[in-house]
Amino acid sequence: MAKPASEYTRKRNFDVTSEPAESKRKGKARSGALSFVIQKHDARNLHYDFRLELDGTLKSWAVPKGPSLDPKQKRLAVHVEDHPLDYAAFEGSIPKGQYGGGDVIVWDRGIWQPHGDPRKTYADGKLKFTLIGEKLSGEWALVRTRLKGSGSKEQWLLIKEKDDIARPAAEYDITEAQPQSVISGAHVGAGRSAPAKSKAKAVEAKPARKPAPKKANVVFPDTLAPQLATLVDAPPAGDWLYEIKFDGYRMLTRIQNDEVRLFTRNGN
């Protein structure tokens, strides 16, 4: 298993880094929903830090290529030290020369629902769970392999399970399509946003292009599934906005050929 959270403190100089210091009292397991966060980290190598709240701490894995919605793509996830719960809200720049030096953004966040006893499945090396995030959702798995990385770090695999959310990689890459922070909209790494003026100059310098071919007509589906409320015992902790589920209809709006239509998830 991963080393205790004290390793987190040993690796950092909190007089230099703005990362949250570990509380003297270990975080207590909270009742209600369990949080998850994925931080995009532009350190020596760009990667995604996948963190699941469990027993008052954040169990953490470094995922070099980030999550994929394609069940065929089993993404390497290197198990690293536990992080304090306060780390879930961290965005900023870790100074060069410090452990993990580089820019960090919160790429996704939400709650996770373990299938079965999470302590047992974590110890067994086969976590299965549902994610309800701002970007990721649906069924997922973290599976420990017998391979060993540098030092004693365990190598796991982050896998998207087959469900209605899964999509082939050739069709959609969520890390490419949605590179920005869910908190600030900031970018890091190769997807960093350039200043607007620089973009304008680059466009002016390009030669004229041929008109793009007309797009083919797209057939709209008869029904769409809106995001539905999820029953939990308590609202998530932190600066979250959430809705109380009232009785009524959840309406969707579709605009097609200048015609506006309102309909329910049942197509009415």
Instruction: Tell whether the model's pLDDT for residue 204 goes beyond 70.
Output: no
User: Among all residues, which ones are annotated catalytic?
Assistant: 245
pLDDT digits (tens, 9 = 90+) for 221-251: 655 667 666 667 677 666 666 666 666 777 7
- CA 10, distance to chain mean position in Å, is 26
- CA 93, distance to chain mean position in Å, is 19
pLDDT digits (tens, 9 = 90+) for 75-112: 999 999 999 999 999 999 999 999 899 999 999 999 99
Residue at token pair 């310098």: 205
Query: Cβ(150)–Cβ(124) under 8 Å?
Result: no
CB-based contacts of 231: which residues, under 8 Å, 6+ apart? none
pLDDT of amino acid 250: 74
pLDDT digits (tens, 9 = 90+) for 187-201: 998 545 333 333 333
Question: Cα 67–69–74 angle (5° rounding)?
Answer: 60
| DSSP 8-state code for residue 46 | E
Task: Confirm whether pTM is higher than 0.85.
Answer: no
